[in-house]
Structure 1
């Protein structure tokens, strides 16, 4: 049972497609199929049911999936530990970030990091914060710089670097824009456009209302804050957005309530051996955190 076959199996299981797995692994589809076939031959069982265009895990596939992840995490961890002995900062660094953090917080840090460590191959992935969180937890990523979970897993080290203050906003033509002062309850009478139901940011907002015994009526959801800004701007509802997205198109509502804040920062698995490249990135993030605190 070789690691290449296990990686091909995992990619197909996660993507639900041999062609998408091939793209992810930078291989041809026949090469991925061959590696999965080799693995099936080794364990003596089919791993996938192929019905039409649908691909699903068999019972053997479901049994192998968590063990394959564990084997590859242990293998990669061992490789990093051995590579770290040389003290060189190079190799690949798998780093995930959300679109908003990646656009508005990370660019100067990445510029400094790539300038100081040109031998590092940066594998940067743009994911929803929740997906990045799970990928780090499962061992698929070394680091993530995202919105932090309100109740993080004890298996993860999570460190806030920035604090995003979220502002209640609407379009300048919205009925709420005519009010000079508003209680939080006034927003419950109007539709909201907010991030998806399972996002950390949505949870922070709805919990704020729930503490006051209020409900939020969400008419439209999207995980892209820039899209939310557009929908607010054309009058589809009120929302909460960070300061980085607020401009003259939007009206900041004068809500009588403490500001809603969300922590942005980095996270990694507590039990993982970090590469020298990852440790170098943490130094950059820690420097930024200290500067924010001053």
Structure 2
């Protein structure tokens, strides 16, 4: 069998989709005879009768129906390949790799990404979640183009755009403590109780301590949603981002035990990228977009935006 011609496949697809040679010719801006000849040539090459021409209108044979299903996939993949080649020729990235860290307020960060990528359908967002030191490790190992996380502002390898602040509050469920939570709580007071912590996803975990009480029994979870569920069910205590537990704090399902001995903590969430790597046009456009969003948020926080 000779190699199939793309023109013949497209003519067959048009006839199968439009239901007639005449309609297919109009869609393809071809003549009726040329479309007819292309389909006949395809059938001869395949050794299959793809169309039933015995009725008033042509219809697909059983073999034609099965072949058309595969042909449509092949034609769609070819369109994607042509688009991909055009994107490579223009220098635009086909994929942008972004990592969201555990400190991120997900609704806000996902909203920013949604607003940006809605205008860039040719670039696919590859989004992953990492915790503790995982996001920066992925960035430094060249496995991410950009991360949303905390970052050391003094690290000369990184540049960052501050986006928002997230308050973390130490909380317990009602009845978790066998004493009134109004008393001044110290680390020694909490050491007998299980503390829930986020699991570091880095291959080379950091030695930095985030809210972990030394000497206490602890359980680890992959993210704050799971951590919140454990604390709500009275299985542990721990720090949670305030944006995630506003309703529970308000209606008493969770109780803050923040004080001078076990304080809360505020983290600055930033978009972070490496200084020493080139950035493609889409990555650079995302960076400029996030800079504008960061400026708007700063103005709003200062009360400059009504």
Q: TM-score range by the shorter chain?
A: 0.5 to 0.7
**Cα shift readout 1:266-286 (whole Å, capped 9, x = no counterpart):** 211111101111111112222
Which residue of 2 is the match for residue 178 of structure 1?
180
Instruction: Answer yes or no: is the 8 Å Cα contact 1:89–1:276 preserved in 2.
Output: yes
**Cα distance in structure 2, aligned partners of 1:273 and 1:240:** 37
Aligned residues: 203
Judge which range, 150-159 or 263-272, deviates more.
150-159
Shift of the 150–99 alpha-carbon distance from structure 1 to 2, 3 Å rule, reads closer
Shift of the 196–180 alpha-carbon distance from structure 1 to 2, 3 Å rule, reads same
Instruction: Answer yes or no: is the 8 Å Cα contact 2:172–2:236 preserved in 1.
Output: yes
**Cα shift readout 1:23-75 (whole Å, capped 9, x = no counterpart):** xxxxxxxxxxxxxxxxxxxxxxxxxxxxxxxxxxxxxxxxxxxxxxxxxxxxx
**Cα distance in structure 2, aligned partners of 1:237 and 1:113:** 39
**Cα shift readout 1:111-147 (whole Å, capped 9, x = no counterpart):** 210222233222222333522311211222211112x
Query: 263, 266, 278: which is aligned to 1:273?
Result: 278
Q: Which one has the largest radius of gyration?
A: 2
Which residue of 2 is the match for residue 137 of structure 1?
140
TM, length-normalised to structure 1 = 0.59
* CA RMSD, Structure 1 to Structure 2 (Å): 3.1
Which residue of 2 is the match for residue 68 of structure 1?
none
Query: What is the SS of the residue equivalent to 2:259?
Result: coil
Which residue of 2 is the match for residue 251 of structure 1?
255
| Matched ranges for 1:1-294 at <5 A | 91-98=94-101, 101=104, 103-146=106-149, 148-150=150-152, 153-175=155-177, 178-185=180-187, 186-196=189-199, 203-206=209-212, 215=214, 217-246=216-245, 247=248, 248=251, 249-256=253-260, 258-294=263-299
Shift of the 105–165 alpha-carbon distance from structure 1 to 2, 3 Å rule, reads same
Instruction: Answer yes or no: is the 8 Å Cα contact 1:194–1:202 preserved in 2.
Output: no
**Cα shift readout 1:157-180 (whole Å, capped 9, x = no counterpart):** 234322211101001121267221
Following TM superposition, by how much is the alpha carbon of 1:224 offset from its aligned partner in structure 2, in angstroms?
A: 1.1
**Cα distance in structure 2, aligned partners of 1:239 and 1:136:** 28
Shift of the 204–127 alpha-carbon distance from structure 1 to 2, 3 Å rule, reads closer
**Cα shift readout 1:1-29 (whole Å, capped 9, x = no counterpart):** xxxxxxxxxxxxxxxxxxxxxxxxxxxxx
Instruction: Answer yes or no: is the 8 Å Cα contact 2:103–2:269 preserved in 1.
Output: no
Following TM superposition, by how much is the alpha carbon of 1:99 offset from its aligned partner in structure 2, in angstroms?
A: 5.9
Write 1 or 2 for the structure with the bigger share of helix.
1
**Cα distance in structure 1, aligned partners of 2:206 and 2:244:** 18
